Amino acid sequence: MGELVAEKHVRYVLSVEKVSIVLFVVAGLSLLEYPGVKPIDPAYALRVDVVNRIFFSK
C-alpha cells in the first residue's frame, strides 16, 4: 500500500506541468509576502537567502 503512495508521489513530482504550477504558486505567495513563505528571487527562481549565499558568501 505504501509503495503505491510513493509511486503516485514520484509521478506528481516528475510532472513538469505540476512542478511549474507549484513554482508559480510559491513565487506568487512570496510576492504577496504571505506569512511563512520566504522571498523568492525572480531571476533565479530560488529563495533570496540561497542566491545571496551562492553569490555573496565568498
Q: For 26-56, how does the pLDDT look when each residue is reduced to its tens digit (9 = 90+)? A: 888 898 899 999 999 988 889 999 999 999 9
Largest pairwise CA distance in the chain: 48
The strand ranges marked E within the chain are 40-41, 46-47
The one-letter amino acid at 22: V
Q: Which residue has the higher pLDDT, 16 or 23?
A: 23
pLDDT at 6 over 80: no
Provide the 3-class DSSP secondary structure of residue 43: coil
CA distance 43 to 19: 17
Domain ranges of the chain: 23-58
pLDDT at 52: 95
